[in-house]
């Protein structure tokens, strides 16, 4: 998603990640205990509901604010939890074992439904709009199901008058509040952790994540499962407290209200959605009686204004004012991440018995248009193979066909002796292919160190609750960082890097995958002469010293001539020449191709080396 | 049997009328206009205004077109244009606009259902069966809208520019086409069409502040499976509308109401381009 939502205000960093959240959580629990006996009953009653709504809003924030999955379906999971309690207590009566059973049934049902939604909504290549559509259809289907349940589900009027856990309102207030506090603290620890940064990385650049070997669809589906279970738990508590369930609580309109609360409070901030949900819900309880339609109108106007003019919601605004007003506190600077060399994995880089990369009769066509026709070549470890050819020759398409099994129309691609069949990009990464995109693609709001840690996600899964102050990287990646000076600015956000630094960072991210074959699509585009020389030296080093196989797409013939060990010339989707640098550079054919004498060139027989 | 066939055809026609404006906007701007429902509602209330003024029901149609076009201008300028690069946010903002419109209408007209006289009463006999005259008229209206839009897109200069923007916006801009003007005109036309559709469905549905909401999801799903082509929309309306009629008739109406949404979601999972070619 391209929304300009930047980093969370909750980031402080540091190693003692547990301290602040746990301390604030304990403080919140104390406040809750005090409030439960001092607040008027009407407010207590409203706050219980607001706490549970805020918990669901928090899951919307995790899904939408952090990860970029716009969901209208969290209400459905809330409804599932609520109806599990309502149905069992109405038809089987209330007892403690039955309550436990109802809870288990509610969470289980939510989990199963979420798995189905995940299967539908998240697959390689799915558009974000489609995922939203699926979450939109879910509550609609569920509500229609409730309507057609007749007496059993209470149809449109819902179920009420069932027995429930008999504890005083003050106790419910504390239970619901503690649930919200516990959830918020857990979510806070998670989003600040090294693993939690992946959510932001997915929101900012899903494709880059996939080409870093991360199965984004599975991650999203797991996240939705967790959020579904949490929402169902909130729904279960809701039914127990209110002793009433109705289709509206599962409906699509409630689903959109959740999104409105999150947007107003401030997406991607955790605290914003909690405050947004609670203040609007409690506000409605007091104001919608006096100003029946005007209140909803005001919320609607505020929502539109916030979406259009303040995409990050009111939280950053409030935080900014608070920071101005409060005496300046010295922020504890986060301990900078230090990069250390990782142990080389078993197997090493060089396996000379088989070609690192082997293409046989690869074809790609869009309808009747042949973009690639019968491409076959091998590339070995230690080779620096350059692909050259005029614009539209199919170079970038060929790169895609190697890094994504679903791309090519026919032929086989083998990576290190394994055929890629129709494997998705993240599986191709596991086979040892790293791909650098044509335009530098990094995660704008992550820091250099965070971006590199995302790149190590597959090799060394990071902690879900803490931030590590060291990051192990393979030597080639470290070399790139050192040469370009990026190792001195690990905390700088990627958006502030120069173009050349972004290119270098992306290269380091690809090398952090410990690939055996590296695909580089115009890696020097837009670089200065000096940067270009520097990066050329790095490439030579990668192939000669680390025995990687590099496949390079380039336009600059001089540059290619200096660094390549072999050159393949593509023209109109075919290989017209494959040979050493000398052969290619002095070939009339290549001169003809570049001079635009395409017809003559295409008709010449292949000059295989 | 013939009745069932007529049900399919007229349902498809109604779906086409209701979705055409949304398709225009989605095709050109690649955003989902969730205030489509609000424009339907506005169109519905245009008939109420016309009735209050003592005019013939049919005056509602041009009146709705005009109101829809003018309010579309304001919405495009202040809400849609800033969100052009944020398609998911555009869904939300236009949904919020729907809430605002619903509340404003409630404040002016009250939340109750408005009674509007139907322009054509009764049934006519067709091939030996009695069928609602108004539903049959809507088939003609749907054809008229299809022809008019087809002419707009293929017979006018603006239409040529619009098609260029649909195919390749960057290139179109490079050729000197003002894509922001094309977007503006498209949105206004879409809003006007939605409003007219809201007016046209009043004899079939009730007029109330939320009358547009039940239609949005169906229209939205139809547009998603149709891409940016009117022909695909017609096919999708017939296939999915037909499925809805069949399920409602032979299984039950509740499931029938879900048919379009569920089938479209599954279809998109299997074939992301839906009914559109390629």
Distance, in Å, from the CA atom of A364 to the CA atom of B179, rounded to the nearest integer, reads 32
CA distances from A204 to A100, A119, B31, B32, B130 (A): 40, 22, 19, 21, 58
Q: Do A256 and B32 touch (CB under 8 A)?
A: no
Distance, in Å, from the CA atom of A145 to the CA atom of B255, rounded to the nearest integer, reads 8
Q: Which residues of B touch A309 (CB under 8 A)?
A: 82
Angle at B86 between CA B82 and CA B90, to 5 degrees: 70
Q: What is the pLDDT of residue A609?
A: 34
Sign of CA dihedral A325, A329, A332, A333: positive
* Start-to-end CA span in chain A (Å): 46
Tell me, rounded to whole angstroms, the distance of Cα A419 from its chain centroid. Answer: 28
Residue A301 near chain B (CB below 8 Å): yes
pLDDT tens by residue, B201-214: 998 888 998 888 88
Contact call for residues A413 and A359 (beta carbons, < 8 A) = yes
Q: Do B85 and A133 touch (CB under 8 A)?
A: no
Q: Which residues of A touch B100 (CB under 8 A)?
A: 297, 300-301, 304
Nearest CA in chain B to A2: B86
Q: Do B86 and A293 touch (CB under 8 A)?
A: no
Q: Which residues of B touch A368 (CB under 8 A)?
A: none
Q: Which residues of B touch A367 (CB under 8 A)?
A: 278
List chain B residues with pLDDT less than 70. 277-278
Residue A311 near chain B (CB below 8 Å): yes
Alpha helices in B156-211 (DSSP H): 157-167, 169-174, 179-200
| B125: three-class secondary structure by DSSP | strand
Q: Which residues of B touch A125 (CB under 8 A)?
A: 272
Q: Which among A61, A77, A85, A57 has a CA at the least distance from the CA of A118? A: A77
Q: Which residues of A touch B278 (CB under 8 A)?
A: 367
Residue B87 near chain A (CB below 8 Å): yes
Give B86→chain A minimum CA distance, Å.
6
Angle at B119 between CA B117 and CA B122, to 5 degrees: 95
φ and ψ at residue A568, rounded to 5 degrees: -115, 130
Contact call for residues A83 and A139 (beta carbons, < 8 A) = no
Q: Which residues of B touch A118 (CB under 8 A)?
A: none
- Whole-structure pTM value: 0.89
Distance, in Å, from the CA atom of A258 to the CA atom of A58, rounded to the nearest integer, reads 9
Given the DSSP bridges, would you call strands A410-415 and A357-366 parallel, antiparallel or unpaired? antiparallel
Output the CA torsion A307→A313→A314→A317 (10° steps). Answer: -110
List chain A residues with pLDDT less than 50. 1-15, 348-350, 600-602, 604-609
CA distances from A73 to A113, A134, A137 (A): 11, 8, 8
Output the CA torsion A21→A24→A25→A28 (10° steps). Answer: -160
What are the respective helix, strand and coil percentages of chain B, to the nearest 5? Answer: 75, 5, 20
Q: What is the pLDDT of residue B184?
A: 93
Nearest CA in chain B to A301: B100
Distance, in Å, from the CA atom of A432 to the CA atom of A455, rounded to the nearest integer, reads 13
Residue A97 near chain B (CB below 8 Å): no
Structure tokens at B185: 């005109």
Q: Do B85 and A2 touch (CB under 8 A)?
A: yes
Tell me, rounded to whole angstroms, the distance of Cα A296 from its chain centroid. Answer: 33
Distance, in Å, from the CA atom of A149 to the CA atom of A162, rounded to the nearest integer, reads 18
What are the respective helix, strand and coil percentages of chain A, to the nearest 5? Answer: 55, 10, 35
Q: Do A304 and B79 touch (CB under 8 A)?
A: yes
Sign of CA dihedral B179, B180, B182, B187: positive
Q: What is the pLDDT of residue B31?
A: 86
Residue A141 near chain B (CB below 8 Å): yes
| B210: three-class secondary structure by DSSP | coil
Q: What is the pLDDT of residue A21?
A: 86
Interaxial angle between packed helices A41-60 and A169-192, expressed in degrees from 0 to 180 and rounded to the nearest 10: 30
Give B85→chain A minimum CA distance, Å.
7
Structure tokens at A377: 């070549």
Q: Which residues of A touch B95 (CB under 8 A)?
A: 256
Q: Which among A350, A12, A44, A354 has a CA at the least distance from the CA of A170? A: A44
Residue B89 near chain A (CB below 8 Å): yes
Contact call for residues A447 and A491 (beta carbons, < 8 A) = yes
CA distances from A203 to A57, A508, B175 (A): 18, 21, 34
H or E stretch at A432: none
pLDDT tens by residue, B114-152: 888 778 777 777 777 788 888 889 999 999 999 999 998
pLDDT tens by residue, B2-11: 888 899 999 9
Distance, in Å, from the CA atom of B41 to the CA atom of B38, rounded to the nearest integer, reads 5
ipTM, 2 dp: 0.90
Q: What is the pLDDT of residue B126?
A: 75
How many residues would you count in chain A?
609
pLDDT tens by residue, A129-150: 889 989 999 999 999 999 988 8
Q: Do B278 and A367 touch (CB under 8 A)?
A: yes
Task: Report how many Cβ contacts below 8 Å link chain A to chain B.
Answer: 106
Residues in Cβ contact with A540 at an 8 Å cutoff, skipping those fewer than 6 apart: A384, A563
φ and ψ at residue B207, rounded to 5 degrees: -100, 110
Give A90→chain B minimum CA distance, Å.
24
**Backbone angle region of A526, left / alpha / beta, with phi > 0 → left and psi within -120 to 50 → alpha:** left
Nearest CA in chain A to B104: A297
Nearest CA in chain A to B102: A297
Contact call for residues B258 and A145 (beta carbons, < 8 A) = no
Q: Which residues of B touch A260 (CB under 8 A)?
A: 92, 96
The burial class, CB within 10 Å (0-12 / 13-18 / 19+), for A456 is buried
Residue A132 near chain B (CB below 8 Å): yes
Q: What is the pLDDT of residue A396?
A: 87
DSSP per-residue string spanning A239-257? HHHH-EE-GGGGSHHHHHH
Distance, in Å, from the CA atom of B208 to the CA atom of A219, rounded to the nearest integer, reads 43
φ and ψ at residue A528, rounded to 5 degrees: -75, 165
Residue B262 near chain A (CB below 8 Å): yes
Nearest CA in chain B to A307: B93
Q: What is the pLDDT of residue A307?
A: 92
Alpha helices in A128-168 (DSSP H): 128-147
pLDDT tens by residue, A308-320: 998 888 888 888 8
Q: Do B268 and A299 touch (CB under 8 A)?
A: no
Q: Do B100 and A147 touch (CB under 8 A)?
A: no
| A214: three-class secondary structure by DSSP | coil
Summary mean pLDDT of chain A = 87
């Amino acid at each position: 998603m391209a929304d300009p939502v930047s980093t969370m205000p909750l980031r402080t960093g540091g190693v003692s990640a547990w301290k602040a959240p746990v301390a604030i959580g304990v403080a919140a629990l104390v406040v809750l205990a005090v409030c439960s006996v001092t607040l008027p009953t009407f407010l207590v009653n409203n706050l219980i509901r607001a706490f549970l709504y805020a918990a669901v809003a928090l899951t919307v924030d995790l899904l939408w604010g952090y990860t970029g999955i716009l969901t209208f379906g969290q209400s459905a999971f809330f409804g599932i939890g609520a109806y599990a309690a309502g149905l069992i207590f109405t038809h089987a009566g209330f007892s403690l074992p039955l309550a436990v059973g109802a809870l288990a049934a509610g969470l289980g049902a939510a989990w199963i439904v979420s798995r189905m939604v995940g299967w539908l909504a998240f697959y390689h290549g799915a558009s974000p709009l489609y995922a939203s559509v699926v979450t939109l259809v879910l509550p609609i289907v569920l509500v229609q199901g409730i309507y057609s349940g007749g007496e059993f589900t209470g149809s449109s009027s819902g179920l009420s008058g069932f027995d429930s856990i008999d504890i005083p309102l003050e106790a419910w207030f504390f239970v619901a509040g503690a649930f919200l506090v516990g959830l918020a603290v857990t979510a806070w620890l998670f989003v600040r952790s090294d693993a939690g940064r992946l959510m932001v990385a997915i929101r900012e650049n899903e494709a880059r994540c996939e080409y870093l070997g991360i199965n984004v669809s599975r991650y999203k589906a797991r996240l939705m499962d967790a959020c579904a279970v949490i929402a169902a738990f909130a729904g279960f508590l809701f039914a127990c407290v209110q002793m009433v369930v109705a289709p509206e609580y599962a409906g699509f309109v409630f689903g959109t209200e959740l999104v409105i609360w999150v947007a107003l409070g401030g997406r991607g901030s955790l605290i914003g959605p909690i405050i947004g949900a609670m203040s609007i819900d409690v506000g409605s309880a007091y104001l919608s009686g006096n100003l029946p339609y005007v209140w909803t109108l005001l919320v609607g106007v505020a929502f539109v204004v916030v979406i259009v003019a303040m995409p990050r919601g009111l939280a950053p605004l409030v935080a900014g004012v608070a920071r101005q007003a409060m005496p300046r506190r010295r922020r504890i600077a986060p301990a900078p991440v230090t990069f250390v060399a990782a142990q080389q994995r078993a197997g090493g880089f060089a396996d000379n018995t088989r070609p690192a990369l082997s293409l046989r009769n690869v074809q790609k066509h869009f309808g009747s248009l042949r973009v690639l026709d019968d491409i076959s070549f091998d590339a070995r470890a230690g080779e620096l193979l350059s692909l050259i050819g005029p614009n539209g020759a199919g170079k970038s398409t060929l790169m895609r066909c190697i890094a994504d099994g679903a791309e090519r129309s026919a032929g086989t691609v083998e990576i290190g002796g394994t055929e890629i069949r129709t494997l998705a990009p993240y599986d191709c990464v596991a086979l040892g292919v790293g791909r650098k995109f044509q335009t530098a693609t990094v995660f704008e709001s992550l820091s250099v160190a965070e971006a590199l840690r995302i790149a190590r996600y597959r090799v060394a899964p990071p902690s879900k609750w803490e931030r590590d102050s060291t990051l192990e990287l393979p030597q080639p990646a470290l070399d790139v960082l050192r040469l370009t000076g990026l190792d001195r600015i690990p905390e700088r956000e990627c958006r502030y890097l120069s173009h050349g630094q972004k290119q270098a960072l992306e290269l380091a991210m690809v090398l952090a995958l410990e690939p055996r074959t590296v695909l580089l699509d115009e890696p020097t585009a837009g670089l200065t002469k000096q940067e270009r020389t520097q990066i050329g030296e790095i490439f030579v080093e990668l192939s000669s010293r680390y025995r990687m196989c590099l496949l390079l797409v380039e336009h600059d013939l001089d540059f290619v001539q200096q660094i390549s060990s072999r050159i393949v010339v593509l023209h109109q989707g075919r290989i017209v020449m494959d040979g050493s640098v000398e052969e290619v550079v002095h070939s009339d054919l290549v001169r003809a191709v570049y001079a635009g004498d395409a017809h003559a060139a295409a008709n010449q027989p292949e000059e295989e080396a | 049997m013939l009745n069932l066939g007529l049900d399919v055809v007229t349902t498809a026609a109604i779906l086409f009328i209701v979705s055409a404006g949304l398709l225009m906007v989605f095709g050109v701007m690649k955003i989902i206009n969730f205030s489509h429902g609000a424009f339907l509602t506005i169109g519905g209330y245009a008939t109420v205004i016309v009735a209050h003024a003592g005019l013939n029901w049919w005056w509602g149609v041009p009146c709705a077109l005009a109101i829809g076009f003018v309010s579309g201008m304001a919405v495009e300028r202040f809400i849609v244009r800033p969100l052009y690069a944020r398609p998911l946010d555009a869904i939300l903002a236009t949904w919020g606009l729907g809430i605002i419109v619903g509340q404003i209408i409630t404040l002016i007209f009250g939340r109750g259902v408005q009674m509007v006289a139907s322009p054509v009463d009764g049934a006519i006999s067709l091939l030996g069966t009695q069928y609602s005259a108004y539903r049959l008229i809507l088939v003609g209206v749907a054809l008229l809208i299809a022809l008019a839009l087809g002419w707009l897109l293929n017979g006018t200069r603006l239409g040529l520019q619009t098609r260029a923007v649909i195919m390749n916006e960057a290139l179109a801009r490079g050729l000197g086409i003002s894509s922001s003007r094309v977007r503006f005109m498209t949105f206004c036309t879409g809003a006007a069409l939605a409003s007219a559709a809201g007016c046209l469905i009043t004899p079939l549905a009730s007029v109330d502040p939320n009358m547009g909401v039940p239609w949005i999801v169906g229209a939205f799903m139809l547009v998603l499976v149709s891409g940016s082509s009117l022909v695909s929309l017609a096919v999708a309306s017939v296939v999915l509308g037909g499925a809805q009629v069949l399920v409602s008739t032979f299984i039950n109406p509740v499931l029938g109401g879900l048919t379009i949404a569920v089938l479209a979601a599954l279809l998109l999972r299997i074939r992301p381009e839906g009914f559109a070619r390629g």
